């Protein structure tokens, strides 16, 4: 699994604001009928879409709509609109922190922002309360939550029903908030997600980049404590050796396994799961 930036490089897509599957740009992103008529580069389906980062992108999509609700434009232009957005954003951040204990869109020194996968999961799991805080339609949030659950689970999905649901969600998003252009990461899942999922032999949840992201802290520890700092080539060589040791089957088998509880799907999401009885 690769992220959006790496996907753009591999598909020679120079503008990150465009979809690397159908090539649609921001101006036509909300025109669903136009998008469905475009030619799709099926050879790019193999690059899939980043599941963990999709939670964050969907959350930011909802938040940015909320920030601009007072003037209902895609961008805050002019001193008046910028001030309105600043005030509303501050109020939403305070409310989410006090009522749901989550911090969104706050820059962390040297570590991106507070928008993480865990924050996004909490955000969507409490769609009803979040809707009251940010002023965004509850159905809009709940439909996004169902889609995120389906692409994250490791179960067999009825892709015919799910594709219709994604397309209907895309149309609802455009109807509710036509003034805000759908981000390419959201567009890719809603429009092309099912076509991409068909290309993989196992449920798409097995291909998540969570394991890759979890290795970041191991990388930082290896670089800080187990590498020579004389030259970059020596540093990288020591880091690679550290990863080779830590990934050795004998050594990894001795590692204590943490218990991971499987996230339960909502009743709405279970409608798209194919049970063992149905498969028989």
Burial group, residue 107, by CB count within 10 angstroms (0-12, 13-18, 19+) = exposed
Angle, CA of 99, 108 and 74, to the nearest 5°: 70
Place of tokens 């809707």: 131
pLDDT tens-digit profile of 149-174?
Answer: 999 988 899 999 999 999 999 999 99
| Contact yes or no for 192/54 (Cβ under 8 A) | no
| Contact yes or no for 169/143 (Cβ under 8 A) | yes
Average pLDDT of every residue of the chain: 89
Longest dimension (CA), the chain: 62
Q: How far is CA 122 from CA 55, 59, 118, 128, in A?
A: 10, 10, 6, 12
Place of tokens 């979809």: 19
Domain boundaries defined on the chain: 4-207, 213-254
pTM listed for this prediction:
0.87
pLDDT top residue among 93 and 278: 93
DSSP 73: -
pLDDT tens-digit profile of 51-76?
Answer: 888 999 999 999 999 999 999 999 99
| Contact yes or no for 143/73 (Cβ under 8 A) | no
């Amino acid at each position: 699994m690769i992220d959006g930036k790496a996907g753009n490089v591999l598909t020679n897509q120079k503008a990150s604001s465009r979809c690397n599957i159908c090539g649609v740009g921001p101006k036509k992103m909300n025109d669903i009928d136009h998008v469905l008529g475009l030619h799709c580069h099926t050879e790019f389906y193999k690059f899939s879409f980043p599941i963990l980062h999709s939670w964050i992108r969907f959350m930011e999509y909802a938040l940015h709509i909320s920030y601009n609700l007072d003037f209902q434009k895609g961008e805050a232009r002019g001193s008046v609109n910028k001030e309105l957005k600043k005030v509303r954003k501050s109020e939403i951040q305070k409310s989410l922190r006090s009522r749901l204990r989550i911090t969104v869109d706050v820059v962390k020194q040297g570590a991106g922002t507070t928008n993480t996968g865990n924050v996004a999961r909490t955000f969507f799991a409490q769609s009803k309360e979040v809707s009251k805080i940010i002023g965004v339609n509850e159905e809009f949030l709940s439909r996004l939550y169902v889609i995120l659950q389906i692409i994250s689970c490791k179960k067999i999905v009825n892709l015919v029903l799910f594709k219709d649901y994604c397309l209907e969600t895309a149309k609802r998003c455009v109807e509710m908030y036509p003034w805000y252009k759908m981000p390419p990461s959201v567009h890719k899942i809603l429009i092309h997600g099912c076509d991409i999922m068909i290309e993989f032999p196992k449920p798409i949840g097995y291909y998540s980049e969570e394991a890759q992201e979890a290795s970041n802290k191991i990388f930082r520890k290896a670089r800080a404590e187990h590498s020579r700092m004389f030259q970059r080539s020596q540093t990288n060589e020591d880091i690679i050796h550290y990863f080779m040791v830590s990934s050795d089957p004998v050594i990894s088998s001795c590692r204590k396994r943490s218990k991971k509880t499987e996230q339960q799907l909502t009743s709405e999401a279970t409608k798209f799961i194919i049970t063992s009885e149905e498969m028989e």
